[in-house]
Structure 1
C-alpha cells in the first residue's frame, strides 16, 4: 500500500469511479429518467475521452504530491522495468516507468471503461432511448421530434403496421399542439404522468396510436430491469451445488425471490392450506405459530 504504483492506481480509480457514479446510480433506479440517462451516457463518454487526452499531467502531479506528503518513494520515471506480464529473465522487453504508468495503466484503464460503455450502450440502443426521450413532457415537450417518434414506432413492427406509422406521423403534430396548449398537461413531469392524464381526460381514445406508443415507451425500462433482476435471481438460486434443479422448480423459486414483496403479504395460514390440499399426506401440516419439535426424528409425515 505504500508503493507509488498502488497510490497511482487508487487515485485513478477515484477519478474514473467519480465520473461514472451518477450514471450508475441513475441506471439502477426503478423510475429511470431516460432523458437524464441519455445525457449522462454522452457526458461520461466525453469526459472519459477528455481525461485520456488531457488528464494525465494533472493526475500524475496529484499522485506525486500525495507521495511527497506521506513519504512514499517516487521512482525515477526514466528507469527501465520489464513489461507487465512478461518474464523477467534475460531478453525480457523493458519499458520506462513513465511508459508503464502512462500507457500501461492510465490509457489501458480508460480505454477499457470506454469500450465497456460502448458495448453496453451501442448506437442502436442509444438511438432507441433518444427516440423515447422525445416523449418527455417536461419544458412543454422540448425534446419532441416527429421523425424520431415515427422511427420508434417502426422498431415495434408487431404493434405498428406501415399504415399506423403513416397515420402516426400525421397525429403527432396535432397531439403535441393540443397538449402544449392544454393546462391539464402542465403538471406532467414524466411519461407515467402523461399517460395517466391522457386517460383521465379521454385523450387516449382521441389519439390511440400516440397512447400506444407511450405505453410501449413505459414498458421498455421496466422490462429491462425485470430481465436484470431475473438473471441476478438465477445466479443466487441456481448455484454450483444446486445445478441439477429442473426448470419448473427453478421458475417457482425465482418467482418467489423476484416477487418477494408480494409473497410476504400472503398469510402463512393460506400457504399451509394450499400445500395441504395439493395431495394426501400422512399427517396435517402444523398450524401457524405452532412449534415443530424434533423435526429430524419426526418421521416422513412432516417431511412429506
Structure 2
C-alpha cells in the first residue's frame, strides 16, 4: 500500500509527500488501517492529528460502515473523507457511457477490435511493422514532421472503467493506427484457420469502415478531450476544491461552445478521414428514416414459427429477421450461423411425429378476462381476490377438474367439517360450487 501525506508547512504552503509503502496481508479495511497505524508509528505520527483522508471509490475504502474511511473516522471524527476528484469524474463518464446505447456499442466494438488484434505476439508484430512503414512513408512524403520526441512507437491501449482518461487515449490510438488495424484484420481474414475469428474479423472490418463508427470515434474524441484536460487538472498536487469547481465551469462552457459551433468542423474532419481511408460518406441532406420496429412486423415474423400443418408457415429469412428484433440476445456471429441452424431445425421437427398434429393457442389471456365477467357476476360483485382467483382456476381449467369425481369432493368437504368440529382448527378453505352443472371444489 502506498501512503502519501499532505500537510501545511510553517509558511502556510500545501506540501504533498510520498511517505512510503507498507506491506499488507490483504486489502480488507482493517488490514489497511493497521498498516497505516504501523507506518505512522514508525515516523512518530498519530491518526488523531489527521484532518482529511482521500481514496478512490472502492468499497473497501469508502464503505459507509466497514470501509477504511469509516474505521478512521471512528478513531478520529475530524479526518473527513474526500473521494478522489479524478476518480469521481471517471466514474461519471463511465456511468453516462453505459446509459447511451450508441456510445456503449462503440466501446464494445473497440474492445473486440483490441482483443482480436492483440490476441497474439505475431499480430502485435504485424501491426507494429505496418505502423512503422506508414511513418516512414509519411516522413518521405512530408505528411508528418520529424523531431525529438515525435513519432514514438505506440500501441493500442485498453480502456478501464477506473483508469483516468483511458477512454480518450484508447480512441486517440485507434484513430492513429486505423489503417494498420485494418491491415491486421485483413490478414486474419485471409490467413486465420479459426473460422470464428475469421468471421469476427469480417464483421469488425465492416464496422470499422462504416461512416457511423468513424463519426462516433471523432465525436467522442472531441468530447473526451475536454474531460481529459479536466481530469489532468484534477490530478495536480496544488489544486483545491474551489479551483476544481472553476475547472468544471470551464469544461461546461467548452461543451456548450462545441454543441453550438463545432458541427461543421466535426463533419469536415470526419469526411476528410473517410476520404483518406476510402470510407463511403453519408449525405447529410438525405431524408432520415427512423429504423423503428412496428409490432405488426414483429407479429408477422413470429407467425412463421407456427407449428400447425407440419410447420407449413416456416420461413427461414423471416425468422432471421425476427432475431434482429432482439439484438441483446443474438450477437453478430449468432446471426451468421442462425440460418444453418434453422435448416437443421425444420428438418428435425418435420420428421418428428409428435409435432405432426400440434395446434397453437394464443388467446388464453383473453379467455381469462372473458371468464371474469361470468365468474364475477352482479350476484357475486363483492367477491374477494382469492375467491375470484380460485373460481377462475376451476372455470378455466375445467378439463382438469372434470376428471375429479364428485364423491371425492363431497368426502373432502365432510372431512373438513368433522376435523374443524373435533379440533377447533381450520384447515385450508374448501367451497362447493357449480360450474355448468358440474360439482367442483374451490380453494386449496
Give me the TM-score of the superposition, normalised by structure 1: 0.32
Higher Rg: 2
Richer in strand (by share):
2
Give me the TM-score of the superposition, normalised by structure 2: 0.23
